[in-house]
Amino acid sequence: MNILQGILHNTPLLAALAAWAIAQGAKILLTLLLERQLDLTRIVGTGGMPSSHSALTMALSFSIGKYWGFDSPYFAIALIFSFVVMYDAAGIRRAAGKQAEIINMLILHHQMPDMEKLKELLGHTPLEVAVGAILGIGIGLWL
């Protein structure tokens, strides 16, 4: 089997990519419905509902569990990796986004035109992470 065939038959990889694509697509759809704005940059943007990082890593984890066993070391590694990613998304990256929001307010208040505005939507709320994780679990078990 060549490399491309191997990739195309790697179900955990395909489940992870499908979960990411569905989560990112959902962000575009939710932005369209809630803000009445078609924002195609959401396909690669960070933050928002649902967390595509959570969806991707949990789909990978649960697909590995489905095919190699939930008692396998592969599942354990993938699940711990998922928890680290989700903790980072809801903790560290969310805090960085809040800091960026405050810095941007300071830049605006002090009228500092030379300063570049920082990106504020970096992390996720716990709900966004949970919804992404549930989406990923479902896709990982389905594929």
Q: What is the residue extent of each domain of the chain?
A: 3-142
In angstroms, the CA 8 to CA 102 distance is 45
Residue 26 — very low, low, confident or very high, per pLDDT cuts 50/70/90?
very high
The predicted structure's pLDDT at residue 118: 62
55 token code pair? 């969806």
Q: Per residue in 46-104, pLDDT tens?
A: 777 899 999 999 999 999 999 999 999 999 999 999 999 999 887 777 777 777 778 87
The predicted structure's pLDDT at residue 111: 76
pTM above the 0.85 mark? no
Residues 6+ apart with CB under 8 A from 89: 51, 53, 54, 123, 124, 128, 129
The predicted structure's pLDDT at residue 32: 86
The predicted structure's pLDDT at residue 122: 63
pLDDT above 80 for 140:
yes
Nearest to 57 by CA among 27, 86, 87, 92: 86
Q: CA dihedral in degrees (14, 17, 59, 68; nearest 10)?
A: 30
In angstroms, the CA 9 to CA 139 distance is 16
Strand, helix or coil for residue 105 = helix
Cα 63 to chain center, whole Å? 17
The predicted structure's pLDDT at residue 114: 73
